[in-house]
A and B are shown apart, each in its own frame.
Chain A
Amino acid sequence: MKLVDYFSLAFDGVKERKGRSIGAVIGIVIAVVALALALGIGEAFRAMFYETLRRAFGPDIIYVMPTEHLTESDILIMSSLPNVEHVIPIVGQGVLLKAGTFERSVMVYGIRAEYLKFIMGVEDLEEAIEEGSPDLVGLNILVGEYLSYNYLTKTKLIEIGQQVILQGVDRTTIAVVTGILKASSGPGVAFINTGSSVFMDIDTFFSLFRRDMTYDLAIVKVKDVNRVEETIEIIKAYVPQAEVFSLKFALEQFGIFMNSVQIFLGAVSGIGLFITGLWIFDTMTINVVQRTREIGVMKALGFKKRQIMFLFLAEALVITIIGVAIGAVVVLGLAQVVGIPMFGALIKPKITPFILLLVTLTPIATNIVATLAPAYRAAKLDPVEALRYE
């Protein structure tokens, strides 16, 4: 028998049981859409975080995160190591910023003025200044643009030269706003959100908030990118009390994490596929029972076992392919409109060709497997008993 004839016969069968077939198709559509969106969201997160990581870690940057104290002498040692261009120490603390009636919890970072341009990703710090001057000495502070301006009400919250209060856990101080910093798009180097943070001179920071003069983080910029791994090993030897890692490491770790997140998301939404598989199994089993006499007739007409089996498989395939096709269209449509708001952006599911292939082939495979048993049952029916079946 010709392949088209199998499918045309199968299609007649699908049409005959419209209600059940439509139910199965809807189930498949939902399962396909759920799986594709879950994986697509995972994929979008992965892409976004990769991008963030890439921005936070240039290829020439090594992060040194202390597990114990990281002191000035550690910084000096690292600065003198081979292939190290410079070492940027960073300290930060959460405080309550009060400017008139405006109050906001913010991070205040202590940093040397000459290194701030590096955090901001500019050649000259002037480029990163929205307003005022980058004069980071004494009690002068620079504040991010999101703190200085309310974009909703379009009102200024903080003026240049204004005195503001920084209220720490055990220390409160007055500081003077000397400049407004532009926001870098998304979290930048060291994951510092420049648009909504406060920067002050590191010595002032130490005397106000960190009497023991230890650092939270050091960023090492290397001269030769190709020797990053080697430099990491040397730093580890000299600064054993710190985690030392690079972009490659971070991406690897993140990749492992995202893989398990996606497998988890896939498994949870894959339950839908399992349920549609059961539904197809059920539908096809009922189908075989209802068509017992018909199967007897077909056998009398000369249909072979495998031809009967293929007829039922074709029927499951017709239902599945209709469901998968509708599902794929719905997925591609929804991917344009739905999204999860995060970090001020809308994260839209990223439907890669791999995801599309996976969510189309998996239901087809699942439903073929689900149909094998009932189809086999049909194939091995005794023709005469089938013809007598009431």
Chain B
Amino acid sequence: MSSIINVVNVTKVYKMGEAEVWALKGVSLEVADREFIAIVGPSGSGKSTLLYVIGGLIRPTSGKVYINGVDITTMNDDKLSEFRHENIGFVFQMYHLIPRMTALKNVMLPLKLRGLSGREARRRALEALKLVGLEHRANHRPTQLSGGEQQRVAIARAIVTEPKIILADEPTGNVDRKSALQIMDLFTRLNRELGVTIVMVTHNLELVRYCRKAARLLDGRIVRIYTSSEYRKLAEDMTRGV
């Protein structure tokens, strides 16, 4: 299997005046095409930073990030924007839907950016909403939807451009357990049926079992990558914090 994401020895240093925060201290990670991988680790260990480095939202201080064999660390801002638009679908903990727009319009936004006609954008957005089981909520505004529903709309927005990769930062962090499981089922389907590569940051070990692998971060380093047969060990290591 070829690797779709290849992170090579990436560091990220945040400068806050004189102080430096080393969020990533030399991380290397290969993710195969059609993989569904979790990134776990305690708060402040650098999970989000790693995810956004992969998605081209954060430039690493050093190291390389190859997506589909292309080095994205040398891209200028416009090229990175194009790269994100073509390849990545983001899902955030806080959903980040645009409050004044209906679910449908939120999902149509990336397609509008692509320059699609209103009719085509609408058709594809409705399809994406159907996929997440919310076509009947198309004309609701975010405030009229539950947290779980909002997150599914956000997932529809992430997949409507048919990206190869979905990067999800604690997508279930703000929803109830039932919705969380629903979202995980959805991710599993996207991964299995559409072949989308998914990288998901999570705190919740119960959800890790949906993923085929889990990379464990500790203090800016990947300490180990666990396969699904090693999840019991993952749980032990996490509670011991080693």
Task: Please give the residue numbers on chain A whose beta carbons come within 8 Å of chain B beta carbons, in ascending order.
Answer: 1-2, 5, 9, 12-13, 15-16, 293-294, 296-305, 307, 383-384, 387
Contact = CB atoms under 8 A, between A and B. Distances in A.
Contacts of B85: 301-302
Given A293-B96, A301-B84, A305-B77, A384 B113 contact: no
B100 interface: yes
A307 B157 CA distance: 19
Contacts of A12: 100-101, 105
A259 to B, nearest CB: 48
B161 to A, nearest CB: 8
B112 A16 contact: no
A297 B97 CA distance: 8
Contact of B81 (A15, A296, A299, A384): A299
11 contacts: A1-B114, A5-B112, A12-B101, A16-B100, A300-B84, A300-B90, A301-B90, A301-B157, A302-B86, A303-B81, A305-B78
A363 B31 CA distance: 54
Contacts of A307: 113
Nearest to A296: B96
A1 B113 contact: yes
Nearest to A308: B81
A301 B98 contact: no
Nearest to A306: B78
B55 A301 contact: no
Contact of A297 (B52, B78, B96): B96
A302 B81 contact: yes
Interface in B71-90: 77-78, 81-82, 84-86, 90
Place the interface of chain B in its size category. Answer: 20 to 34
Nearest to B98: A294
Contacts of A293: 94, 96
Please give me the 6 A-B residue pairs with the lowest Cβ-Cβ distance, nearest first. A302-B85, A16-B100, A5-B112, A297-B96, A304-B81, A300-B90
Given A2-B115, A384-B57, A301 B109 contact: yes
A173 to B, nearest CB: 85
Contacts, number: 59
B113 A383 contact: no
B41 interface: no
A350 B199 CA distance: 68
Contact of A15 (B84, B90, B100): B100
Interface string B33-57: 0000000000000001000100101
A300 B113 contact: no
A300 B77 contact: no
A296 to B, nearest CB: 7
Given A298-B109, A384-B52, 14 more contacts: A1-B112, A9-B112, A12-B100, A12-B101, A12-B105, A294-B96, A297-B92, A299-B57, A301-B157, A302-B85, A304-B77, A304-B81, A304-B82, A305-B77
B60 interface: no
Given A12-B101, A384-B57, A302 B96 contact: no
- Among B81, B82, B112, B157, chain A packs the most CB atoms within 10 A around the CB of B81
A299 B55 CA distance: 11
Contacts of A15: 100
A301 B96 CA distance: 11
Nearest to B113: A1
A305 B53 CA distance: 19
Contacts of B112: 1-2, 5, 9
B58 interface: yes
B148 interface: no
B110 interface: yes
A77 B67 CA distance: 101
Contacts of A383: 57
A303 to B, nearest CB: 6
B58 A387 contact: no
A181 to B, nearest CB: 73
B110 A301 contact: yes
Contacts of B52: 384
A302 B115 contact: no
A300 B55 contact: yes
Nearest to B58: A384
B57 A300 contact: yes
B113 A387 contact: no
A72 B80 CA distance: 92
Interface in B95-122: 96, 98, 100-101, 105, 109-110, 112-115
Contacts of B90: 300-301
